[in-house]
């Protein structure tokens, strides 16, 4: 099975109301990455990397790569599974000639960070993800979803700069672009890989915001696939996985009132561009044609509609939310895309009507 990376594309400008609209993907097999809107939605770069899964030899966890355990790290050895994953990462780092990797466990032991990033960046990244994970669980449980807690800490590879990131990821199509957006989620390895871009940009405030935005989007992907919301080894429409990620990507830890599901104006902006309304993709195509997220002619609208699709059900009536939960339950059993339309019709209703409702909902959100 190929290792596919989820990365996104950012808008060129960053502000407190994040205009970085990342494209990303959790794409497997024939699924590829994405591109985001043009200005004011500004032209976005593209990440599309597919690197076959590397079977790294497992070496000693505390081997010759310069691994150290931070003071906020374990008081006892990590679980065996986590140790094996870290050893694999260290072997990969060694092959990339990276050193001085440190391991840090988050305060509530939900995340394990490993990498050569500065201590403050590692701590901030872990803190953001842990705060997000709590909000995520509380939010979805309040909506009636059964979301579990991973048996062991989720892995984050936290690197010091773009050069370390490129060395760790290795050569491949889209590697340079991936380095521009701050990181990716590897769905097969189940790891977040991010780097500190503060040293690569002149504007540290803007760069910090990009770091956070990247991290939140990718962390949501990791959470959805590790808490039972989505099935990591199953067939998941790209529209659904991206819909959840865009649903929460604007959350900010620094804002106590920030939550999941705020109106994503950056995504919706594509519909305000010339021809944007006419480019609407019927929902039956959105849920079945993953290549919409790789086609430059459709990718911007596909991401926007993914947000609309998830937001519509998550913020709608209890009856519609119940249908949405049943739809997700059905998808967890699927291992190929042959049942996508059947599942959508069975649980979400007549798709032509749903498509009309989604289009009206998008227009309503644009008027906010």
User: Which of 170, 202, 230 marks a domain boundary?
Assistant: 230
Q: Count Cβ neighbours within 10 Å for each residue of 329-339 and write b for 16 or more, e otherwise.
A: eebeebeeeee
State residue 348's pLDDT score.
98
State residue 151's pLDDT score.
84
CA 312, 314, 318, 320 torsion: positive or negative?
Answer: positive
- DSSP annotation of 199: G
Strand partners, 51: 3
User: Is the Cβ–Cβ distance between 267 and 304 less than 8 Å?
Assistant: yes
My answer on whether 206 and 318 are in the same domain is no
My answer on whether 72 and 217 are in the same domain is yes
Asked whether residue 4 is domain-assigned, the answer is: no
How many structural domains is the chain composed of?
2
What is the token pair recorded at 314?
A: 């998550």
Question: What is the value of pTM for the model shown?
Answer: 0.80
Instruction: List average pLDDT for each run of 10 residues in the chain, which is 368 residues long.
Output: 44 36 36 34 29 24 34 44 89 94 93 95 94 97 94 94 92 62 88 84 55 88 97 96 96 88 95 90 98 93 98 97 98 97 98 98 94
My answer on whether 96 and 152 are in the same domain is yes
User: Is the Cβ–Cβ distance between 91 and 58 less than 8 Å?
Assistant: yes
Domain range holding 194? 55-230
Asked whether residue 40 is domain-assigned, the answer is: no
Asked whether residue 226 is domain-assigned, the answer is: yes
What is the token pair recorded at 11?
A: 């808008």
- How far is the C-alpha of 177 from the C-alpha of 8, rounded, in Å? 9
State residue 207's pLDDT score.
53
My answer on whether 149 and 275 are in the same domain is no
For the purposes of burial, counting CB atoms within 10 Å of the CB of 7, is it exposed (0-12), middle (13-18) or buried (19 or more)?
A: buried
Q: Count Cβ neighbours within 10 Å for each residue of 103-138 and write b for 16 or more, e otherwise.
A: bbbbeeebbbbbbbbeeebbbbbbebbbbbbebbbe
Residue 298 three-state SS: coil
State residue 312's pLDDT score.
99
Asked whether residue 27 is domain-assigned, the answer is: no
State residue 368's pLDDT score.
84
């Amino acid at each position: 099975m190929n290792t596919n990376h989820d990365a996104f594309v950012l808008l060129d400008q960053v502000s407190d109301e994040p205009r970085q609209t990342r494209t990303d993907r959790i794409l497997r097999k024939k699924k590829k990455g994405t591109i985001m809107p043009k200005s004011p939605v500004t032209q976005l770069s593209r990440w599309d990397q597919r690197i076959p899964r590397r079977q790294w030899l497992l070496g000693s966890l505390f081997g010759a790569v310069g691994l150290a355990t931070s003071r906020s790290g374990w008081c006892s050895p990590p679980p065996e599974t986590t140790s094996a994953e870290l050893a694999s990462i260290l072997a990969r780092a060694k092959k990339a000639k990276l050193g001085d990797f440190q391991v840090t466990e988050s305060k509530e032991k939900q995340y394990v960070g490993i990498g050569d990033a500065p201590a403050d960046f590692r701590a901030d990244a872990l803190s953001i993800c842990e705060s997000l994970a709590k909000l995520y669980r509380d939010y979805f449980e309040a909506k009636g979803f059964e979301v579990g807690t991973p048996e062991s800490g989720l892995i984050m590879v936290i690197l010091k700069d773009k050069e370390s990131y490129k060395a760790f990821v290795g050569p491949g199509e889209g590697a340079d672009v991936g380095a521009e957006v701050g990181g990716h989620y590897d769905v097969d390895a189940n790891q977040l890989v991010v780097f500190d871009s503060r040293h690569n940009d002149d504007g540290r405030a803007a760069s910090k915001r990009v770091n956070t935005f990247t991290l939140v989007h990718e962390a949501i992907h990791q959470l959805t696939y590790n808490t039972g919301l989505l099935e990591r080894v199953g067939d998941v429409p790209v529209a659904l996985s991206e819909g959840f990620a865009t649903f929460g990507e604007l959350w900010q830890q620094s804002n106590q009132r920030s939550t999941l599901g705020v109106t994503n104006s950056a995504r919706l902006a594509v519909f305000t561009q010339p021809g944007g309304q006419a480019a609407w993709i019927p929902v039956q195509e959105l849920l079945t044609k993953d290549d919409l997220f790789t086609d430059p002619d459709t990718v911007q609208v596909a991401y926007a509609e993914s947000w609309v699709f998830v937001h519509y059900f998550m913020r709608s009536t209890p009856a519609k939310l119940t249908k949405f939960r049943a739809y997700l339950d059905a998808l967890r059993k699927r291992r190929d895309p042959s049942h996508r339309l059947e599942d959508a019709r069975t649980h979400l209703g007549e798709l032509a009507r749903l498509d009309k409702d989604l289009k009206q909902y998008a227009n309503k959100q644009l008027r906010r």
